[in-house]
């Protein structure tokens, strides 16, 4: 018998319930309010009193309203047909909801039960299988969507029968498995998984080492992220977190992209809804929407569901990773998730930590980031979840709990700087404070030497040194004045400006400049570092700035032109002529 209960108290969306039977931590229940059933999750149990967070508005709720427990935690339904969909934080298909406004208590099935999928068996009768073994595959938007032994099945099984190639719906049995005792299990194309539990179906999780190309120079060239890597983008409001994340999600070399819009603006989600069906994946030429799933729990949607949304997104990512795919997961903004935790923790009158966030915030963030990663599956194949979250620090101050907690968990740090954003130096990633820990991994160095060139890492380091030098020199010029320093100080400063304008800055709204493939990044870095390696003839500092402004202007025109097009080559020629004017030939 399912446990039942009655509402005893209500403070905003925290409801206390008196129950008549067993309940589990994080169990889902439904509160009846007239015709509506409001979904809620157990947060705390004390005797027969249970505190739940309701995923909806509690307006009109009364003492004595009936509650029914479901016996399971918050789950998602996994199966073919997830791609291209737009879900809310609880995996309701937003397109299936009726009316312009969201109605409280309206939930739906997240997949299409009618659609037939062309199934190809991969296993055969007699095969030994276990959780996540690939039984067959269907083509989901050109991705080989593996039908797997449900992750909840523990132990070993034998395939008794497997459906022949053909068209099936997600609810039809495609395999029958037997366990050691001869019990039979019918397997369909769908399975369920509780979102707060990590799906661990891999044999090994090595350190990520392969570059994940994003087409963003300040990432790939300067502080690269890896397939299966983690990164975060903190920045005051308006410094470009969302634009950067959108750029990555459009351009990255991934098979599946999952975007969790977590407590941010609805209009930004609409932008993805409008653009992604039109834009092409630069790697496959197919429409971006085909590889994308959007989990939208915008800031005006219920706060508790906002907390659930990041877990929903992560679980779906893990599902695709188990198929041997490269998944890119983006969450904007993880601070809103942390705030959702804070709101509940405060209502429950828990002992507050710093800035009233829950005491264990850092552990919660760490546990979440640890679900990403590059894995070897049991069948020897690999899969990955690359996770990039944004952080919205209060007052733009990076010494706050969410930023600090995330810094411990994520390996790449892309610090957006107010000052750069104010001067429209986009993307406003501060090249000196930001880092990628992957650059320190020998296995990454090996990979990148092979993929680009053996001297690549050295060039990138030289570039960073020069940026640092440029900054120091600029400070000295500011203190001593333009003519208080030698002319070659100006030269150093302007070389660092060339790097800034040509490599670091990138116009996300220019059709060509927006995406910079790795090959082109290599060309531009070579060009720029070649400029910087040389010495120049200058009489005075005014000449220096005028000259380098012309250099920058030509290089920018290159960035705006199609790579190796006639126009591009024309600028290359112009640049060479200009350089010849003042460059001192190498000894």
Partner 1 sequence: MATKAFQKIYTKITSINKATCSLKATGVGNDELATVNGKLAQVVKIMGDDITLQVFQGTEGIPTDAEVVFLGKAPSLKVSDQLAGRFFNAFGQPIDGGPEIEGTDVEIGGPSVNPVRRKQPSELIATGIAGIDLNNTLVSGQKIPFFADPDQPYNQVMANVALRAKADKIILGGMGLTNDDYLYFKNVFNNAGVLDRIVSFVNTTENPPVERLLIPDMALTAAEYFAVEKNQKVLVLLTDMTSYADALAIVSNRMDQIPSKDSMPGSLYSDLAKIYEKAVQFPTGGSITIIAVTTLSGGDITHAVPDNTGYITEGQLYLRRDSDIGKVIVDPFRSLSRLKQLVAGKKTREDHPQVMNAAVRLYADAANAKTKLENGFDLTNYDERCLSFAKDYSNDLLAIDVNIDTTQMLDVAWGLFAKYFKPEEVNIKQELVEKYWKK
Ligand X SMILES: Nc1ncnc2c1ncn2[C@@H]1O[C@H](COP(=O)(O)OP(=O)(O)OP(=O)(O)O)[C@@H](O)[C@H]1O
Could you list the residues that contact ligand X (CB under 6 A)? 235, 237-243, 264, 392, 426-427, 506-509
**Which of 107, 185, 523, 560 is close enough to bind partner 1 by CB under 8 A?**
560
The least CB distance from residue 405 to partner 1, in Å, is 16
CA distance 137 to 123: 10
The least CB distance from residue 574 to partner 1, in Å, is 10
CA distance 573 to 562: 15
Give one DSSP letter per residue of 212-225, joined into a string: ---S-HIIIIIS--
Do residues 289 and 273 touch, judged by C-beta distance below 8 A? no
CA angle 138, 376, 386 (to 5 degrees): 80
Per-residue contact string for residues 95-134; x = within reach of partner 1 by CB under 8 A: x-x-xxxxxx------------------------------
CA distance 33 to 516: 54
The least CB distance from residue 29 to partner 1, in Å, is 17
Do residues 150 and 298 touch, judged by C-beta distance below 8 A? no
Provide the binding-site residues for Mg ion, judged by CB under 5 A.
241-242
Name the residue with tokens 């679980």: 315
Q: Is 8 in the site for partner 1 (CB under 8 A)?
A: yes
The least CB distance from residue 237 to ligand X, in Å, is 3
Q: Is 353 in the site for partner 1 (CB under 8 A)?
A: no
Q: Pick between residue 111 and residue 269 the one whose CB is nearest to Mg ion.
A: 269
The least CB distance from residue 264 to Mg ion, in Å, is 6
Q: Pick between residue 165 and residue 356 the one whose CB is nearest to partner 1.
A: 356
Count of CB atoms situated within 10 Å of the CB of 360: 15
Q: Pick between residue 139 and residue 271 the one whose CB is nearest to partner 1.
A: 271
Q: Strand, coil or helix: what is 580?
A: helix
> Which token pair is 396?
């733009």
Helix (H) or strand (E) holding 144: strand 143-148
Q: Pick between residue 302 and residue 427 the one whose CB is nearest to ligand X.
A: 427
Q: Pick between residue 244 and residue 325 the one whose CB is nearest to ligand X.
A: 244
The least CB distance from residue 261 to partner 1, in Å, is 8
| Site stretch for partner 1 (CB under 8 A), options 233-241, 362-370, 434-442, 450-458 | 233-241
The least CB distance from residue 390 to ligand X, in Å, is 7
What are the C-alpha distances in Å from 280 to residues 270, 277, 283, 463? 17, 8, 8, 32
Which of Mg ion, partner 1, ligand X, none does 235 bind, CB closer than 5 to 8 A by kind? ligand X
| Site stretch for partner 1 (CB under 8 A), options 21-29, 116-124, 260-268, 528-536 | 260-268
Which of Mg ion, partner 1, ligand X, none does 135 bind, CB closer than 5 to 8 A by kind? none
Q: Is 303 in the site for partner 1 (CB under 8 A)?
A: yes
Per-residue contact string for residues 358-397; x = within reach of partner 1 by CB under 8 A: ----------------------------------x-xxxx
Q: Is 271 in the site for partner 1 (CB under 8 A)?
A: yes
Name the residue with tokens 């307006």: 59
**Which of 48, 422, 446, 475 is close enough to bind partner 1 by CB under 8 A?**
422
Report residue 568: phi and psi, to 5°.
-60, -50
Size of the site for partner 1 (CB under 8 A): 74
Rg (the chain; Cα; Å): 27
Identify residues 499-558 at the interface with partner 1 (CB under 8 A).
Answer: 509, 541-542, 545-546, 549-550, 552-553, 556-557
Which contacts of 470-473 are long-range, i.e. CB under 8 A and separated by 24 or more positions?
Answer: 470/495, 470/496, 470/497, 470/499, 470/500, 471/432, 471/496
Helix (H) or strand (E) holding 345: helix 334-347
Q: Pick between residue 176 and residue 243 the one whose CB is nearest to Mg ion.
A: 243
Per-residue contact string for residues 320-339; x = within reach of partner 1 by CB under 8 A: -------------x--x--x
Which of ligand X, partner 1, Mg ion, none does 8 bind, CB closer than 5 to 8 A by kind? partner 1
Q: Is 423 in the site for partner 1 (CB under 8 A)?
A: yes
Which of ligand X, partner 1, Mg ion, none does 63 bind, CB closer than 5 to 8 A by kind? partner 1
CA distance 383 to 374: 6
Do residues 199 and 489 touch, judged by C-beta distance below 8 A? no
The least CB distance from residue 493 to partner 1, in Å, is 12
The least CB distance from residue 242 to Mg ion, in Å, is 3
CA contacts within 13 A on the Cβ side of 436: 28
Which of ligand X, partner 1, Mg ion, none does 427 bind, CB closer than 5 to 8 A by kind? ligand X
Contacts of 212 (CB under 8 A, 6+ apart): 224, 225, 226, 227, 229, 252, 253, 254, 326, 328, 386
Burial class of residue 496 (count of CB atoms within 10 Å of its CB; 0-12, 13-18, 19+): buried
Which of Mg ion, partner 1, ligand X, none does 482 bind, CB closer than 5 to 8 A by kind? partner 1
Q: Strand, coil or helix: what is 130?
A: strand
CA distance 334 to 246: 15
Q: Is 207 in the site for partner 1 (CB under 8 A)?
A: no
Q: Pick between residue 259 and residue 316 the one whose CB is nearest to ligand X.
A: 259
Q: Pick between residue 1 and residue 351 the one whose CB is nearest to partner 1.
A: 351
Helix (H) or strand (E) holding 545: helix 541-560
Q: Pick between residue 363 and residue 394 the one whose CB is nearest to partner 1.
A: 394
Q: Please state whether 424 falls in left (phi above 0), alpha (psi between -120 and 50) or beta.
A: left
């Amino acid at each position: 018998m399912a446990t039942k209960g009655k509402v005893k108290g209500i403070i905003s969306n925290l409801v206390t319930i008196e129950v008549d039977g067993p309940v589990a931590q994080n169990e889902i229940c439904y509160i009846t309010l007239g015709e509506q059933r409001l979904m809620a999750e157990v947060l705390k149990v004390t005797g027969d009193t249970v505190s739940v967070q309701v995923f909806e508005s509690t307006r009109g709720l009364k003492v004595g309203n009936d509650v029914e427990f479901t016996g399971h935690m918050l789950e998602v339904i996994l199966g073919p047909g997830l791609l291209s969909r737009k879900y809310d934080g609880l995996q309701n298909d937003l397109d299936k909801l009726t009316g312009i406004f969201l109605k409280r208590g309206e939930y739906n099935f997240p997949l299409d039960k009618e659609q037939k999928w062309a199934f190809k068996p991969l296993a055969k009768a007699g095969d030994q299988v276990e959780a996540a073994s690939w039984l067959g595959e269907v083509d989901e938007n050109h991705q080989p969507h593996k039908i797997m032994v449900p992750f909840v099945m523990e132990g070993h099984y034998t395939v008794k029968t497997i459906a022949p190639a053909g068209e099936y719906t997600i609810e039809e049995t495609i395999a029958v498995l037997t366990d050691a005792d001869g019990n039979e299990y019918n397997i369909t194309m769908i399975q369920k998984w509780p979102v707060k539990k990590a799906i661990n179906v891999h044999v090994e999780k090595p350190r990520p080492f392969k570059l994940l190309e994003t087409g963003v120079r300040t990432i790939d060239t300067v502080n690269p992220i890896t397939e299966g890597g983690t990164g975060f983008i903190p920045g005051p409001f308006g410094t470009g977190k969302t634009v950067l994340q959108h750029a990555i999600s459009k351009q990255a070399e991934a098979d599946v992209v999952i975007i969790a819009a977590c407590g941010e603006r609805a209009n930004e989600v609409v932008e993805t809804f409008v653009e992604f069906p039109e834009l092409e994946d630069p790697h496959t030429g197919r429409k971006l929407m085909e590889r994308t799933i959007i989990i939208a729990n915008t800031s005006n949607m219920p706060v508790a569901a906002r907390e659930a949304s990041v877990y929903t997104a992560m679980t779906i990512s893990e599902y695709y990773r188990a198929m041997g795919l490269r998944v890119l997961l983006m969450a904007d903004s993880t601070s809103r998730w942390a705030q959702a935790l804070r709101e509940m923790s405060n209502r429950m009158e828990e002992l507050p930590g710093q800035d009233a966030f829950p005491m264990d915030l850092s552990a919660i963030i760490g546990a979440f980031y640890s679900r990403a990663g590059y894995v070897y599956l049991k069948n020897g194949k690999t899969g990955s979840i690359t996770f990039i979250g944004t952080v919205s620090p209060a007052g733009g101050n990076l010494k706050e709990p969410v930023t600090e907690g995330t810094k411990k968990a994520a390996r790449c740090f892309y610090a957006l700087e107010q000052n750069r954003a104010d001067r429209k130096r986009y993307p406003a990633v501060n090249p000196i404070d930001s880092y990628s820990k992957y650059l320190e991994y020998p296995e990454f160095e090996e990979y990148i030497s092979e993929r680009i060139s053996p001297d690549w890492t050295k060039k990138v380091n030289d570039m960073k040194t020069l940026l640092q030098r440029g900054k120091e020199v600029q400070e000295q010029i500011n203190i001593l004045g333009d003519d208080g320093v030698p002319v070659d100080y100006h030269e150093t400063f302007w070389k660092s400006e060339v790097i800034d304008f040509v490599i670091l800055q990138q116009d996300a709204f220019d059709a060509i400049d927006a995406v910079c493939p790795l090959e082109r990044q290599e060309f531009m870095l070579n060009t720029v570092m070649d400029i910087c390696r040389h010495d120049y003839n200058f009489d005075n500092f005014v000449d220096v700035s005028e000259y380098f402004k012309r250099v920058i202007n030509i290089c920018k025109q290159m960035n705006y032109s199609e790579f190796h097009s006639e126009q591009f080559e024309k600028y290359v020629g112009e640049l060479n002529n200009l350089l010849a004017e003042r460059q001192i030939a190498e000894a």
